Amino acid sequence: MLMKTSPFKVTKQKLSPEAAAKKKKRDISMAKTKRRSAMKAQNQRIGQRSDSDLHHTDGTPGGPVRRVSIAKNRGGFGKGTK
């Protein structure tokens, strides 16, 4: 029998179940703010491609957006990755 998925839940952060639940609640509430919803809607209007990422350059919805290649996006723009 070939298993396509692991029976174990893999998370990047090793959090207790209580902490993971609190983090999930915080993350969802942040993702549903008016600002984030407006930015997501703008990204969807522009259209995402598999070879690049969209960045809101001034952090405001409806503001300027820059398309960044995957390679440039991973580098931290000269500021490191941490």
- Mean pLDDT of successive 10-residue stretches along the chain, which has 82 residues: 63 87 95 93 90 88 88 75 64
Q: Is residue 35 part of a domain?
A: yes
Q: Are 40 and 62 in contact (CB under 8 A)?
A: no
Distances (CA, A) of 17 to 23, 24, 29, 31, 37: 10, 10, 18, 21, 28
- The confidence score (pLDDT) of residue 10 equals 66
Domain count across the chain = 1
Distance, CA of 53 to CA of 28 (rounded, Å): 21
Q: Is residue 55 part of a domain?
A: yes
Which structural domain range is residue 69 located in?
Answer: 28-75
- The confidence score (pLDDT) of residue 56 equals 87
- The confidence score (pLDDT) of residue 33 equals 95
- The confidence score (pLDDT) of residue 73 equals 80
Distance, CA of 25 to CA of 19 (rounded, Å): 10
- The confidence score (pLDDT) of residue 7 equals 67
Q: Is residue 81 part of a domain?
A: no
Q: Is residue 47 part of a domain?
A: yes
Q: Is residue 67 part of a domain?
A: yes
Q: Is residue 19 part of a domain?
A: no
